[in-house]
Structure 1
Amino acid sequence: MKLRSAGRTDVGKVRRRNEDAILNRPEAGLWVVADGLGGHAAGDYASRLIVERLAALPRAGSALDFVDSIEDVLDAVNGDLRRAARARNVDVIASTVVLLVRGENCLFCGWLGDSRAYCCEDGRLLQITRDHVYRDADAAGWLGDRVTPPAAGSAPLTRAVGVEQSLFVDWVLAGNRPGTCFVLCSDGLNKEMTDQEIGDVCCGSASAGEVLAALFATALSRAARDNISAVVVRLGGAVPALRSRAQAPPGATGTPASAPAGGLGEANRRLHGLNEDYRLGRISREEYRSRRRALAGTLQGVGTAAPVKPRWWSRLFGRA
């Protein structure tokens, strides 16, 4: 799989220090954006520790071996941050993280918190992560376990590295169709740009570096109230012709890189179920990893298969 990638982080116009960190490791097939929690102690330390540990992680074995190792690293960082918070007598030292891993037949996207991953293909932008934020009174596990419940309209995080004793990374699979563009970003970018604006930049034939430069030019021309970070990954090959929304199939919402009906879409539904079963304690870590490995093993050749069945992503996450 040929690809090009580029990354950048900027303090923005308001903050005095940059609490974001990025990792661009195309040779290892690993890209990361981490956003230290603002308003908490040592957010820059938390995000930097994640990136430094993942930068030092050797890639060996299969993609799933690498994914397992990444989870182990994040678990270790989670424990280190919790111990650091206790040593400093502060409530929490934590960071979000979103990452992309190149696999043999697909890509793996994992995340904790509200740092996002977008995929742009055929002129359509899709957010392939779902923000881990408190949504309603019945939501469990929100980061405010040790603080006052959130007021209406606010959205504190439900997951981050460094908060809870147990860490649960959500994963989604994306195909490897040539020309597809992925964007990983901290919320400093999507605070300044709408999804439509991000899509207008990403869903053309520009290189990874050109996309990155255009995103930062727009974001920094505005208020830039937060740190801004992004990593752009463009898969090699011809970029599919840009298709307007008027030309899109009726009801289509986009998909991570050409997931075929019954293939990647079905695999993601099953993976989402595994993620939830593990998080809720219905299956052990060993069973979760074993079943995830078996699921990924069924994905031979899905990356450039037929177009996706519309709305599988909406059905997966309950979106209209």
Structure 2
Amino acid sequence: MISVGFKTDRGVRREGNEDALFVLPQQQLYIVADGVGGHNSGELASRMAVGYIAQYVALHPLTEVHGKSNLRRYFEKCFAGANELIYKKAQREGENEGMATTAVLCYLKEGVAYVVNVGDSRAYLMRKDGIRQITEDHTCVQSLIKSGLLTKEQAMAHPDRNMITRAIGGEPDVTADFFRFDTCPGDIILLCTDGLHGELDSERIFELSKSAQTMHRLATELVDEANQRGGKDNISVICIKIQ
């Protein structure tokens, strides 16, 4: 049994919303994307990625895919197809040059969660004893953190904290990270764009998760607090609770 809540918001300072999300409870598939690019290109890129993934899943049912290695290949092909679609459109149309998008996806099957990501949209796992970031940001500051040149606290305020090093559509080819973990009753999985984690640290996200009565309420409270703290970017969240 799964309960889900989700919300997307343009934030306080942005005129449009370049985020996109997709919830497919029948397939237990959930996606969040954050587009980048001038004019309306970011919005177009995120929607193209989400739309392509949704169509791919419809044409190639996940119920027919079994085993970690097969699922990994499945999602690698899926993300590669989305990358090719967006990259070629950006190359073909001058007004869309440079457009790309992040994406983080979660698929649940038989007590196991599979997470795939490109860029800095994140997946978190929350349990009674705490919160853990599943994904690793593909950003300049994350590289500095891994090298020991920055702390996580310093990274939150770094001027290049939003500079991503990997995105769907940014290059001819893309490499997606793949994660797998067992789920337990009571687990909450959060997918979010940097509009959330750029305003709220993981400890605050965890605090809100402990008091929220429903996943819809948690999604709303996360977005509302991100806006209260400045809302500098679009904010999108999907909250998934394993019953």
Q: Using structure 1 for the length normalisation, give the TM-score.
A: 0.64
Say whether 1:184 aligns with 2:183: no
Q: CA deviation at 1:4?
A: 0.8
Higher strand share: 2
Distance 1:108 1:63, change over 3 A: farther
Q: Give the secondary-structure state (helix, strand or coil) at the position aligned to 1:201.
A: helix
TM-superposed CA distance for 1:91, in Å, is 4.1
Q: How does 1:185-224 map to 2 (within 5 A)?
A: 185-204=192-211, 206-224=213-231
Could you say which structure has the greater relative contact order, defined with CA pairs below 8 angstroms and 6 or more residues apart?
2
Q: Deviations over 1:109-155 (max 9, x none)?
A: 1100000111110240111111011225x99xxxxxxxxxxxx8524
User: Could you report, residue by residue, the CA deviation over 1:210-265 in whole angstroms, capped at 9, with x for unpaired residues?
Assistant: 211211221222311110000000001xxxxxxxxxxxxxxxxxxxxxxxxxxxxx
> What RMSD in Å do the two structures reach over aligned CA positions?
2.2
Q: Work out whether residues 87 and 170 of structure 2, in 8 Å CA contact, stay in contact via their aligned partners in 1.
A: yes
2:90 corresponds in structure 1 to 85
Matched, 1:154 2:160: yes
Q: 1:189 offset after TM fit, Å?
A: 0.6
State the number of aligned residues.
Answer: 222
**Structure 1 residue 204: Cα displacement:** 4.8
| 1:62 aligns with one of 58, 62, 65 | 65
Query: What is residue 122 of structure 1 aligned with on the other side?
Result: 128
Q: Deviations over 1:62-97 (max 9, x none)?
A: 355555433323211211111111112354110000
Q: Is the 8 A contact 2:5 2:238 kept in 1?
A: yes
Q: Trace 1:1-320 onto structure 2 (pairs within 5 A).
A: 2-39=1-38, 42-56=41-55, 57-58=57-58, 59=61, 60-64=63-67, 65=70, 67-89=72-94, 91-134=97-140, 135-136=143-144, 154-155=160-161, 156-204=163-211, 206-236=213-243
Q: CA deviation at 1:176?
A: 1.4
SS in 1 for 2:160: coil
- Counterparts of 2:211 and 2:185 in 1: how far apart (Å)? 13
Measure, in 2, the Cα distance between the counterparts of 1:228 and 1:178.
27
CA–CA distance in 1 between the matches of 2:40 and 2:212? Answer: 41
Counterpart of 2:113, as a letter, is L
- Would the alpha carbon gap of residues 61 and 201 (structure 1) be closer, same or farther in structure 2, given more than 3 Å must change? same
Aligned equivalents of 1:226, 1:111: Cα separation in 2: 20
Matched residue type, 2:86: L
User: Per-residue CA shift, 1:150-192, capped at 9, x if unaligned?
Assistant: xx85242121100122221101112110000011000001122
| Shift, 1:38, TM fit | 4.9
* Larger radius of gyration between Structure 1 and Structure 2: 1
Q: Which amino acid aligns with 2:136?
A: R
SS in structure 2 opposite 1:203?
A: helix
Q: 1 CA distance for matches of 2:82 and 2:115?
A: 19
SS in 2 for 1:224: coil
Distance 2:238 2:130 in 1: 19
**Contact 2:6-2:237 within 8 A present in 1 as well:** yes
Instruction: Find the residue that maps to 1:177 and give its secondary structure.
Output: coil
Identity %: 29
Structure 1 Cα separation of the partners of residues 179 and 75 of structure 2 = 15
- Structure 1's unaligned 5+ residue stretches are 140-151, 237-320
Does structure 2 conserve the Cα–Cα contact (< 8 Å) formed by 1:4 and 1:26?
no
Q: Distance in 2 between matches of 1:210 and 1:123?
A: 21
Amino acid across the alignment from 2:236: S
